[in-house]
Amino acid sequence: MTLTLYQFDYSPYCAKVRAVLQAKGLRYKTVEVLPFVGQGRLMELSGQRRVPVLVDGSRVISDSTQIAYYIDTAYPEVPLIPEGSEGYRACFIWEDWADEAFGPAVRSALLSHARADAGFRQEFLPPLGQARLDVALPWALPFALPLLQARYGLTSGRQAAMERQLARQLDFLVGATTGRRYLIGSRLSLADVSVATMARWLDAVPACGGHRYAGFFRWRDAILEQCLLT
């Protein structure tokens, strides 16, 4: 059975699902969804408009958290969710925090930076392999970014608050990852995957790069490497 992941290549939530699949050595294919244009099909498939969506035979699962827990149960080899109750609880909290608090702050920073920096916008774009789209997207993105910011309620005041919160989160992460290979115990878990993938592009944002958070980004790189995510 082929696992199929509907995704935006650059989305941290989709990177998280790819990292889970790859850490477990599972084969899968990806279908690149075009923002706005391709989301009608997602609605038909899954009853909602967001990526990631995973199709496994007759099962259609949306939301990276639901997908990660589904994969770990359906494909138990190389478990990513710790079994003991303490490890399980710690993993639950880390994953939820990465998804609901850290992820939105990262998204706010990435969207602002993408608006400001054309070179970064270019890096952000997946090669779609369809000549017309590859030409049209860089042109369309400056118009799409403000729409995306509005979609996520990112007014200028909200962005400023998110920026301050992101700085606190990164300080916290430097403390939590310094001198450690993994967040929980001595094995890779969904906690590591969730935090590292959310931070995938983050050091390109000027306020987040540089020396201050370097230890955290080194930890992230080691986790992404273990998940074969470059």
Q: Could you list the residues that contact ligand GSH (CB under 6 A)?
A: 8, 11, 13, 39, 49-52, 63-65, 99, 151
CA distance 198 to 184: 17
CB of 164 to ligand GSH, least distance (A): 22
The residue (of 52 and 82) whose beta carbon lies closer to ligand GSH is 52
Q: Which two tokens stand for residue 49?
A: 């408009």
The residue (of 64 and 112) whose beta carbon lies closer to ligand GSH is 64
CB contact set of 86 (below 8 Å; sequence gap of 6+): none
CB of 181 to ligand GSH, least distance (A): 25
The residue (of 63 and 208) whose beta carbon lies closer to ligand GSH is 63
Residue type (1 letter), 186: S
Contact of 67 with 52, CB cutoff 8 Å: yes
Strands of the sheet with 59-62, listed across from one edge: 28-32, 3-7, 53-56, 59-62
CB of 99 to ligand GSH, least distance (A): 5
The residue (of 65 and 189) whose beta carbon lies closer to ligand GSH is 65
CB of 94 to ligand GSH, least distance (A): 14
Q: Helix crossing, 156-177 with 103-116: angle to 10°?
A: 120
